[in-house]
Amino acid sequence: MPKKPFKRKIKKKIKRTRKGIKNWIIYISLLLFFALIRKLNRTSAIRLMQFSGNIAYVLVAGERKKTIRHLSMALGDEKSLKEIKGIARKVFIHFGIAAVDMIRLPIYIKKDILDRLVFSEGFHHLENALSKGKGVIVLTGHFGNWEIGGAWLAQKGVPFKVVGTPLYDPRLDEILVNGRNRAGYKNIARSTGTREIIRSLKNNSALALLVDLDTKVEGVFVNFFNKPAHTATGPVILSQKYSSPIVPVFIRLCDDLTYCVSFEKEIDLVNTGCEKDDLIANTQKLSDIYEKVIRQYPEQWIWMHERWKKQPSATLN
């Protein structure tokens, strides 16, 4: 009888060992990859990653199929399958280019050349919101090149912090967090940073919340590309509780391979006195804003993500 539990323990141990080896291989490979990208000049690195993006589109079948499926769900009524496949390929190429600049960011900061790469539209919207002294909730998403955007804001003297979910591998998470700290802005872990989030708003910091993914956080179902999507309510709740304005900020890659950080005016939240209805209406407002940006530049959003994975129950429907 004791043999079965013993076998299960052995299998679990083998599985953990394999996972550990796999994570080590990924970690070492990424370090070597980072070193290569930083060794090359930007033009050569981008050409390499454009080529790699095309190769990845062909070879990484699972992510390609998810990307095409999700694009079809969102844009299938507007675009042909050929157009959707073209956008899907561009998604892979775009994030190859974005990876180059994320990895080379320490070089740009050290050489003080980030301003040659990034320009802005509507920066006064953020300045006006900060002048209220209540902190600012920066509404953004996994679009364009969000790490470059955060670094640019910090270089402009904006007290900037970003709330993020820790990565699955602590070593990779350390690389990400240290990179953000060196770029001049602070990372707040989503799972443990509640007090730091509140303190940041009270200290009149700009706090970035990326709410365009289906994650394990408190949320409601609102429409995203005409389909119900579970969407985080954190930005709306924080704004209502601490009177912190919400300012949409998105950074997009331009045709000339520079970046534009676009700031929109503060969002006017609905306040009818019905807390539940207001929460849904305001969360829908936020969703509509980043949907509009994604519609304009669909190749710059992470369509591999299963945005509609969580769905309301039949009872709720």
Of 200, 260, 197, 258, give the one whose Cα is nearest residue 232.
197
From first CA to last CA, the distance across the chain in angstroms is: 49
- What digits encode the pLDDT tens for the residues 8-65? 766 676 667 777 788 788 889 888 999 999 999 999 999 999 999 999 999 999 999 9
Tokens linked to 284? 């829908």
Distance, in Å, from the CA atom of 8 to the CA atom of 163, rounded to the nearest integer, reads 39
For the chain, give the mean pLDDT. 90
- What pLDDT does 7 receive? 65
Q: What is the pTM of this model?
A: 0.88
Residue-range domains of the chain with CATH: 113-300 (3.40.1130.10)
Distance, in Å, from the CA atom of 203 to the CA atom of 295, rounded to the nearest integer, reads 35
- Of the pLDDT bands very low, low, confident and very high (cuts 50, 70, 90), residue 316 is very low
- What digits encode the pLDDT tens for the residues 150-177? 999 999 999 999 887 777 778 888 888 8
Confidence check: pLDDT of 67 > 80: yes
Of 65, 57, 149, 58, give the one whose Cα is nearest residue 94.
57
* Range in 31-35, 185-189, 206-210 the model is least confident about: 185-189
What is the mean pLDDT of the segment spanning 114-142?
Answer: 96
Q: Are the beta carbons of 235 and 269 closer than 8 angstroms?
A: no
Distance (Å) of CA 229 to CA 85, 127, 163, 280: 23, 32, 21, 12
Amino acid in the structure at residue 259: Y
